[in-house]
Chain A
Amino acid sequence: MADTVQEFVFNLTFPFTRTLGSTLSTFSSALAQGQIIGVRTGGRVIAPPLEYDPDTAADSGTDWVRVGPKGTVSTWTWVPEPTNLHPLDHAFGFAFITLDGADTPMLHLVDTGSESAMAAGMRVEAKLKAPADRVGRIDDIIAFVPAADPSPSEGAGEPFVAPEENDITEMDAYCDLQYVDNASPTTIMWAKALMEGRIIGQKCPQCDRTIVGPRGMCSVCAIELDESHIVEVPGRGVVSNFTIVTPTPYPGQTETEPFARCSILLDGADAVIAQQEILDVPVSEIRVGIHVEVVWAPENERSAADIDNRSRGSGGDIIVGWRTTGEPDEPAARYLDRMM
């Protein structure tokens, strides 16, 4: 059925702010000023610094050391086709670079323009962003480039005196991942039926429970259910549970006023469908036991685009919501002990 989406793209994107703690705050604040530092702990200088000595788990302390800006490549690789997550949009190298004054390497980019220019032992130097663009994050160093003068870095290995208070104590991060899921046979069955204005479930031959929306299995008996187990259920039922969501502002949140999401037990079903919206009852009057019936979108406005494997029982853009029938509320005993 052409109207049933078989594959859906899901972008997982969100900003994130991390607190840095004292060690990383010191590193970040120094980096924003153009100074790369390490920490001397357990007889070696670790750069970039860690809060703990990885050998002993002891506190690394505050014996800060100036390192770089030049260093030596110990191992390297080459990225011929950068992804959207890489900081450079042209081919570049990644390398372990032991900065002058440090004993452990730092992983960073090496921008040589050509793979053949990469070699262990090569001398490189940090190329930093302009002072106004620095935020104290590791990518304030745009990349390392071949050092014009391979001689040792001036001042490397000398103590670094940290300020009383660090300027930078937080770091912004961003998650940007894309997923492409494909509709499972069960999801396709559900979406096709909805497009035709039918609500279906699957009836388990072992326990006789009817599961709506179908999940391809009986989650009591742990057996597979398929097309042969499909039963049609009426678009009428009872609100068996609900929650009122008070929206807090976060990226992507479009709701501003409190709204209700209800579980509905359809007549003849043994599993509720969750996250449903009641159209004609104010949030303050939502209660369990209300009789409701389905409100379909007009046939020419139905789309299964939002019905994916993650939203089991969702009506997508096909079910607009549910309206009350006006019947007296159902006693609780009739809809307790149902499956989620």
Chain B
Amino acid sequence: MAPTENDIAIVGFAQLPPERRTNLTESDLVLRSTREVIAQVGIDKSEIGFTVSGSCDYLSGQGFSFVQNTDAYGMVPAINESHVEMDGAFAMYEAYVRLLQGDIDIAMAVGVGKNSNSDPSTLFTVEFDPYYLTPLGTDTWTLAALQARALIDSGKATERDFAEVVARNRANAKSNPFAQVKGDYSVDELLAADYVRNPLRRHDLPPTTDQAAAVILARGKRAYDLCERPAWITGIDHRIEAHLPTVRKDITTSVSTRLAAEAAGVGKGPIDVAEIHAPFSFQELILRESLGLDASTEVNPSGGALAAHSVMTVGLIRVGEAANQIIKNGKNRTLAHTTSGPCLQQNLVCVMEGDQ
């Protein structure tokens, strides 16, 4: 396609190796990931017109951590900067919208999460409905397990299907140098493990990961100065459902994902590769169906979120991986997906295409 000045592409992506426990701070991680992506596209940091990050104070346990993290941008003279208390994929969406204003050509989006400081079995309790969920100690694993049980009872999937998702993602992750959990596992071996929250076993849950990632976006022809084959964003949409899963009509499907996929134009052509953010194994099954993907789409060649799951970074990595399939791997049309909130409450879908 010949880009217009309103077309925006991912032109660079860098991620740090995922670690179960880093001794670096979030600021250190931001510095290393942003330096790498800036070097990759060969610009000076002063050429970046807008910088936006996604991170969460509650994860690292540090108030205003995102302010300290801006040290890593080198903000003298002052820069145009923003932050979302969400995954870096949503920061990328803000960068995309900012570029649409047409007055700048280059933007950078960052995701960072030092997840190892906190306990995932308790941390997210404080982010849920404070009246009906938090006083009960409602945790992420429990909400996912309730959704998984509903999926099984609906007849759409079995525990064996969940284990097959895990085995495939871990096998895919073997060829991903940025995977934390990888290897060959038999489904029977996985099914022999105890439940953490029936019907979910440890391997159905996301790993705990410290990581950062960054992407650079460029507008119009400027993209070609930074990247030989830019990953043009041809559709992007973010939909949100009710926070309480109990008031959603059917938690065995994802209405918000379906709506976001339609708005992003997923069905307008074949999707070569989809990078899906399914924190819990079975959610990949729900998401594949709601995204409208068929067997011709390769799903999560990176190993997906089961291979590394740094909350606040994992979604942006899906964007970067899907973009790299176009930039480096010759694919024509790819999809990145990110979720947030209990039982797939929020979903972002981004479709990217390369020049043919």
Contacts and interface: CB of A to CB of B under 8 A. Distances in A.
B60 interface: yes
Given A83-B139, A222-B35, A48 B153 contact: no
Interface string B177-210: 0000000000000000011111110000000000
Interface in B48-75: 58, 60-62, 68, 71-75
A50 B28 CA distance: 43
B41 interface: no
B53 to A, nearest CB: 14
Contacts of A220: 74-76
A220 B133 CA distance: 44
Contacts of B62: 181, 309-310
Contacts of A129: none
Given A222-B31, A222-B74, A106 B246 contact: yes
A18 B146 contact: no
B38 to A, nearest CB: 8
A278 interface: no
B28 A184 contact: yes
Contact of A181 (B60, B133, B242): B60
Interface stretch (B93-101, B116-124, B271-279): B116-124
Contact of A107 (B45, B125, B136): B136
B27 A78 contact: no
B292 to A, nearest CB: 23
B25 A120 contact: no
A243 interface: no
A309 B195 CA distance: 36
Contacts, number: 166
A106 B132 contact: yes
Contacts of B133: 107
Given A83-B139, A177-B123, A222-B74, A24 B131 contact: yes
A80 to B, nearest CB: 7
Nearest to A184: B25
A48 B146 contact: no
Contacts of B61: 10, 12, 177, 179, 181
A34 interface: no
Contacts of A105: 246
B7 to A, nearest CB: 29
A108 B136 contact: yes
A229 interface: no
B21 interface: yes
Contacts of A84: 122
B136 A86 contact: yes
A20 interface: yes
Q: Which of A79, A80, A183, A218 has the most CB of B within 10 A?
A: A79
Interface string A102-116: 001111110000010
Interface in A52-103: 54, 74-80, 82-87, 94-96
A223 B72 CA distance: 8
A222 B36 CA distance: 12
A96 B142 CA distance: 11
B149 A79 contact: no
B32 A224 contact: yes
Interface string A20-44: 1000100000000000000000000
B113 to A, nearest CB: 14
A309 B246 contact: no
Contacts of B121: 83
Contact of B130 (A48, A80, A139, A173): A173
Interface in B108-151: 117-119, 121-123, 125-126, 130-139, 142, 145-150
B150 A221 contact: no
Nearest to B243: A54
B198 A78 contact: yes
Interface string A294-310: 00000000000000011
A117 B44 CA distance: 64
A266 interface: no
User: Ordered nearest first, which 3 A-B pairs have the shortest CB separation?
Assistant: A222-B74, A179-B61, A77-B145
Given A77-B142, A77-B146, A217-B72, 8 more contacts: A50-B247, A75-B150, A77-B197, A139-B136, A177-B61, A184-B24, A186-B28, A223-B74
15 contacts: A75-B150, A77-B142, A77-B199, A78-B195, A79-B197, A82-B137, A87-B135, A87-B136, A87-B137, A106-B246, A138-B132, A215-B71, A220-B74, A222-B74, A312-B68
